[in-house]
């Protein structure tokens, strides 16, 4: 558990209700889709918030339906960001096609060392990641990352993978770590131990 000890000892970490997390993520998804005019503030039912979110971001179903996560808002440390894994998926696909280690650090290392991004056989838009990396911190909106730290799993990014890899790449290019906030869901079973 990447965040377990920190959540117990760091008094700057804010615990937030599940509904607040759902509302935040849904608002973000609605905002990113120009044609989406859903009035998130008008929704007062947590189940409907989840349904609307899952419709727009299917990964949310497994995060909210299959696990009892307690949500927190925090400033993500550089080493925490680099240790995160990318969104869940099959071995060898998407981000995992770049490196079997599947951490933000290892992916950024492979991108940084590549002579030609096309040799990194992935459907992800690596040119966009490199472009993001060149624009930190002034020209990129620093929205919160969404992280799940479930029991018996590596902590992973549910949302914000491109930006997280770009930050790590920015560091490899000599840039400073920009302040990055995150919503982190941690397994209640782990916190209760």
Average pLDDT over residues 140-154: 85
Q: Residue 73 above 90 pLDDT?
A: yes
- What pLDDT, on the 0 to 100 scale, is given for residue 99? 84
- What pLDDT, on the 0 to 100 scale, is given for residue 34? 80
Taking the C-alpha atoms of residue 79 and residue 168, their distance in angstroms, rounded to an integer, is 10
Highest mean pLDDT among 76-85, 87-96, 123-132, 144-153: 76-85
Taking the C-alpha atoms of residue 175 and residue 133, their distance in angstroms, rounded to an integer, is 9
Q: How confident is the model at residue 190 (pLDDT cuts 50, 70, 90)?
A: low
Query: How much of the chain exceeds pLDDT 90, in percent?
Result: 50
Q: What is the pTM of this model?
A: 0.89
Average pLDDT over residues 173-188: 90
Specify the long-range contacts of residues 50-58, CB closer than 8 Å, at least 24 apart: 50/22, 52/26, 53/22, 53/25, 53/26, 53/29, 56/26, 56/29, 56/30, 57/25, 57/29, 57/159
Q: Residue 87 above 80 pLDDT?
A: yes
- What pLDDT, on the 0 to 100 scale, is given for residue 20? 93
Q: How confident is the model at residue 7 (pLDDT cuts 50, 70, 90)?
A: confident
- What pLDDT, on the 0 to 100 scale, is given for residue 1? 62
User: Which uninterrupted H or E stretch holds 146?
Assistant: strand 145-149
Average pLDDT over residues 51-72: 87
- What pLDDT, on the 0 to 100 scale, is given for residue 85? 94
Higher pLDDT, 160 or 139: 160
SS3 133: helix
């Amino acid at each position: 558990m990447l965040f377990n000890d920190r959540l117990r000892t760091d008094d700057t970490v804010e615990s937030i209700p599940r509904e607040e997390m759902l509302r935040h993520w849904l608002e973000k998804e609605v905002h990113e889709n120009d044609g989406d005019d859903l009035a998130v503030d008008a929704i007062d039912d947590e189940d409907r918030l989840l349904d609307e979110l899952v419709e727009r971001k299917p990964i949310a179903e497994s995060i909210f339906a299959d696990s009892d996560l307690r949500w927190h808002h925090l400033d993500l440390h550089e080493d925490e960001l680099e240790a995160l894994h990318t969104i869940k998926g099959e071995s060898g696909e998407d981000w995992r096609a770049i490196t079997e280690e599947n951490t933000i650090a290892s992916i950024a290392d492979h991108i940084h060392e590549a002579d030609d991004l096309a040799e990194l056989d992935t459907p992800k838009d690596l040119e966009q990641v490199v472009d993001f990396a060149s624009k930190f911190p002034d020209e990129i909106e620093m929205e919160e990352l969404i992280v799940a730290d479930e029991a018996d799993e590596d902590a992973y990014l549910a949302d914000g993978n491109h930006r997280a890899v770009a930050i790590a790449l920015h560091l490899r290019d000599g840039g400073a770590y920009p302040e990055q906030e995150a919503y982190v869901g941690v397994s209640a079973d782990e916190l209760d131990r």
